[in-house]
Amino acid sequence: MENYSVILGVDVSKLTLDISSAERRLHLKIPNDGKGFASFVKWCRLSGIDLETAFVVLEHTGGYEYRFLQFCESKNVCYCRVPGLEIKRSMGMTRGKSDQIDSFRISRYGEEKIKRLKPDSRLDVNIIQLKQLLSYRKRLVRENAGLLNTIKERKHVFQSPGSDIITRLSKQKMRMNERLTATIEGEIRRLIESNESFLKNYRILTSIKGIGPVNAWMTIAYTGNFTGFRDARKYAVYVGVIPFDNFSGTSIKGRKRVSHLANKELKQELTQAARVAIIHDKEIKAYAERKLVNKHFGVVVNNVRFKLLLRIFSLIKRGELYVGDYLKAS
């Protein structure tokens, strides 16, 4: 652990940043733009804060923090993004809420947890772009699913759906979304193919039975191309595959359960991969058939999800493509 001169908590919103030091009882509110960052530098100078020895703690916001993080990197400022739920639960009982109060609480959290907090890796613009493209693709796919349901419902209202303007417009919108989705997917492929490391890992991932292009894209994006997660078990916890104990004393004796605190979108994609693998992968199919004798299908699917993750991380580490009966051959 480095010796940081000050811990700054930052509450991020779309338009503004609230920056506080709980220890020094300092607070600053600035616009979330270049002018605001310049004001922040001036405030630090007047407050006796050396940015190069400061440590910034902030919540994940899904994108609003990226400009500020780029500024931090340009000034060699160490920072760490923490899930908002973790900060909230660490506070105990609290009363009142505002952006200024939240920034003080984030700073206090950083001061208390600094021994185990580690600076984030530098931003990878390719990973950011990949996540944004995947997010927009997901929006288009979900919109089409909603439009398809609308069309099905309208069929029960009108005997001749072709005369219904809502049905007609919904079909037009679906066709447009399908063209946009194809364009986005083409852009994702170009991004993958233009990056040697992305392309190598993509080929390894898609060589595994059950892992399709979308699953591979998402795995590359959310593992930071396997720099954010280097261990299959840690990634499995993030996805929501590892079960945890559920007992206390003599009164609570529950069975192990996976946590609902997980990236459920990744888990859903991994579930589809597991179902495909159970059908088409001989080794996993034989494993599933053995386990189904005395285990519930949902438990077996979860076990297969974890086996796929172990296979993914093992192959990525070795830099090898998957081939049939890989484990037996090795």
**What beta strand segments (E) does the chain contain?**
6-12, 16-21, 26-31, 54-59, 78-82, 243-248, 252-258
Residues 77/56, Cβ–Cβ less than 8 Å: yes
What are the tokens at 67? 């400009």
CA–CA dist 164, 159 (Å, integer): 10
- How high is the pLDDT of residue 302? 92
Helix (H) or strand (E) holding 218, with range, is: helix 213-222
Q: What are phi and psi of 294, to 5 degrees?
A: -135, 15
Q: What is the DSSP letter of 166?
A: H
- How high is the pLDDT of residue 63? 82
Please give the CATH superfamily to which domain 6-113 belongs.
Answer: YqgF/RNase H-like domain (3.30.420.140)
The amino acid at residue 203 is R
- Model-level pTM? 0.85
Residues 278/301, Cβ–Cβ less than 8 Å: yes
Q: Domain ranges in the chain? A: 6-113, 125-194, 221-329
Chain-centroid distance of CA 158 in Å reads 43
Average pLDDT of adjacent 10-residue blocks, the chain of 330 residues: 87 94 95 95 95 93 88 94 84 80 93 92 93 96 95 78 82 96 98 97 96 96 92 92 68 66 88 94 93 91 94 95 60
The helix/strand/coil state of 8 is strand
The helix/strand/coil state of 134 is helix
